[in-house]
Amino acid sequence: MILINLLPHREAARKFRKDVFNFSLAAAALAGGLIVGAVFLWYQALISGQQGKNRILETEIKVLDAKIKDIAGLEAEIASLRARQQAVEDLQADRNLPVHMLSELVKQMPDGVYVNALKQENQVVEIKGVAQSNERVSELLRNLANNTPWFSKPDLVEIVAGSVALSAREQRRVSNFTIRFRLMRSSEAEKARAAASAAVVAVSSSVVVVPASGTASAPSSPRKEIGAGNMASAPKMKPDFASIQEKVAGQFRDLDPKDPVSWPAVPRYGLFVLIAAVVVVVSWFSFLSGSEDELVAEQAKETKLREDYKARLTKAVNLDALKKQREQVQQYVTQLEKQLPSKAEMDALLSDINQSGLGRSLQFDLFRPGQVNVKEYYAELPIAVRVTGRYHDIGSFASDIANLSRIVTLNNMQVVPARDGSLAMDAIAKTFRYLDKDEVASQRKASPPKGGTK
């Protein structure tokens, strides 16, 4: 009998299996490393793309910031133009106040009442007169309060009983009164008219629409017809999970931890997967979690940048509209300021005022120009005037002044009886001229900044 020694063959096979096992361990660790590398590169690609988005948003925000800076300058320029516009419009409104005052007084004066003194300071007017009775004074108060939009808040200061001599032997008891009221500007008068016209209430009728009745048949549910000749399906084979579980569990019994080479396939492959998972977990806590935090930070930065971009875009979208608005306001203000004379036109304007009075048969008792008062946008020249004449001639003179091509206002008027039954009017006529660029610059330098220390 021939005996064959199989020990060397077994040792070689054992060594081969051990080498394969070690190689498999190294391959599992390498697979874990490849997974870690792939995850790291994926995170870096996400971070790089996110940073690119953030850079684009930052660039667009810088562009919008430049536009917003232009918008701030435009808004300041428009506000300055609006202030100049308002200043000239106020002068335009004030030029017509004396005309409305003198005209409306005549219209609202009831019979049995006459005025012997009138005094106006800014928008407050005080009249003194004589009435046949207190009822006439009450009627005048009602007329001033309700019948004209140019007067408001009439206030009775006093009524003093007096008498007038009708003849050498006959005297009549009268009421000497003083009334004070407010003179309304054009804009205020327009609001009063609008409030009066808004008292009309429109009644709207409601229409009830009744839908037409109709019947609708409910949809019939589809029926499933079952044929009589349906064949029963053959039973399917189900896998025996219990036997498979028992086989897998049997491979994990009696494992030798010192000789994993001899382990069955399932535990051995499970060990390889565990090695790869350990490499991935250790790498995650070592440096991959930092990449996750960096990506989250970049994404949060993008959210904030988008909010900033939307907020700036809302402001910057008005840039073109503001430019058009500035041009429109500039043209309007330029047109308004043409009504303010320049230095060269002041002499001709003073001559026009004098000719307006002479043309209405008024006599100038005083014509005294004062000192020029420089405002922010214009300069005013006050002229103290005193004219004598009839009431309607004084009113026509005020109307002629208001209709001059250049703005002239009559302020602080005072009308009292004069000699020969005529009236004397004292007033301050103000003429205005616009400031040239040098005067505006010097005026702004001279005026202290708002909010500065004194």
CATH number where 367 lies: 3.30.70.60
Residue 407 shares a structural domain with residue 330: no
Single out the residue in 185, 209, 244 at which a domain terminates. 185
Residue 348 shares a structural domain with residue 434: yes
pLDDT of residue 203: 39
Residue type, 318: N
What angle (nearest 5°) sits at the alpha carbon of residue 166, between those of residues 160 and 170? 95
pLDDT of residue 237: 61
> Token match 């020249």: residue?
381
Residue 165 CB burial class (10 angstroms; 0-12, 13-18, ≥19): exposed
Single out the residue in 146, 165, 185 at which a domain terminates. 185
pLDDT of residue 178: 94
For residue 452, how many other CB atoms are within 10 A of its CB?
6
For residue 415, how many other CB atoms are within 10 A of its CB?
21
Within-domain flag for 360: yes
173 bridge partner residues: 163
Within-domain flag for 368: yes
pLDDT of residue 83: 80
Rama region for 72: left / alpha / beta (φ>0; ψ in -120 to 50; rest) = alpha
Domain count, the chain: 3
pLDDT of residue 127: 93
Residue 138 shares a structural domain with residue 169: yes
Structure tokens at 206: 């409601």
Within-domain flag for 89: yes
Residue type, 364: F
CA distance 130 to 137: 9
Residue 351 shares a structural domain with residue 316: no
Segment 301-351, tens digit of pLDDT? 889 989 988 888 887 777 778 788 888 888 877 776 666 666 656 677 778
Residue type, 242: A
Structure tokens at 54: 């953030």
Within-domain flag for 213: no
pLDDT of residue 396: 92
Please name the residues in contact with 18: beta carbons below 8 A apart, sequence gap of 6 or more: 261
Low-confidence ranges of the chain (pLDDT < 50): 200-210, 213-218, 224-232, 450-454
Q: What range defines the domain where residue 369 resides?
A: 340-446
Within-domain flag for 81: yes
For residue 97, how many other CB atoms are within 10 A of its CB?
24
